[in-house]
A and B are shown apart, each in its own frame.
Chain A
């Protein structure tokens, strides 16, 4: 079974600075998808960014980017120019193609952006 590990239960960052959230996963598959979801205090889960394992290029969405290291099974999220609205729980998730019902989530990292 796939497992997803987020080793940082809590992190904080000053507004406008950069922060990196870690995620590692364990799988024997060669093709899969990885996601970062954000859960703000409203509790609505929102997709931040996604990566397909067969693509070597790291995904980028505005201030959010990932560092995907397939050999190391690492998928970290970098948030640049942090904003107060980035304060949230962040979940890393793993999914096999054709098996969206088997999406595996990490335990989450609580990020606080300080003014």
Chain B
């Protein structure tokens, strides 16, 4: 079945560690996104990529990094520079710019700093 797969579902990070969240899609979508979700707030955009080998910062990119080496994959690294990384992270994809493009979401990764 087509869709977006995020892994792991739960992730624990020690202080000072970098961790990488995986996001894979088989929808043949050009655009992919990473959002952060905190209680009482809407989704906030971390990074997005409209094509392979290209990505742009969103509203809250500090302390995060991404890569887009393949169309299907858009991993997110939470670095030690991110001071408050405990949150729920959602990956999404869409066909791309133009037209009424709805976003399709993965099931999310809950990251907790221990």
Contacts and interface: CB of A to CB of B under 8 A. Distances in A.
Contacts, number: 58
A105 B107 contact: no
B42 A105 contact: yes
Contacts of B103: 45, 47, 100, 103
A97 B50 CA distance: 14
A27 B106 CA distance: 29
A4 B44 CA distance: 12
B42 A98 contact: no
For the side of the interface on A, what is the size category? Answer: 20 to 34
A78 B96 CA distance: 29
Interface string A38-81: 00001111110010100000000000000000000000000000
Interface of B: 31, 33, 40-45, 48, 50, 56, 58, 88, 90, 92, 94, 96-103, 105-108
Contacts of A104: 42
Contacts of B48: 101
A101 B100 contact: no
Contacts of B105: 44-46
A44 B107 contact: yes
Interface string A1-31: 0001000010000000000000000000000
Contact of B33 (A9, A46, A101, A108): A101
Given A42-B107, A100-B94, A107 B41 contact: yes
Interface string A79-115: 0000000000001000001111111111110000000
Given A45-B105, A101-B58, A91 B42 contact: yes
Given A35-B102, A43-B90, A100-B101, 9 more contacts: A9-B40, A43-B107, A44-B107, A44-B108, A45-B92, A47-B103, A91-B43, A99-B97, A100-B96
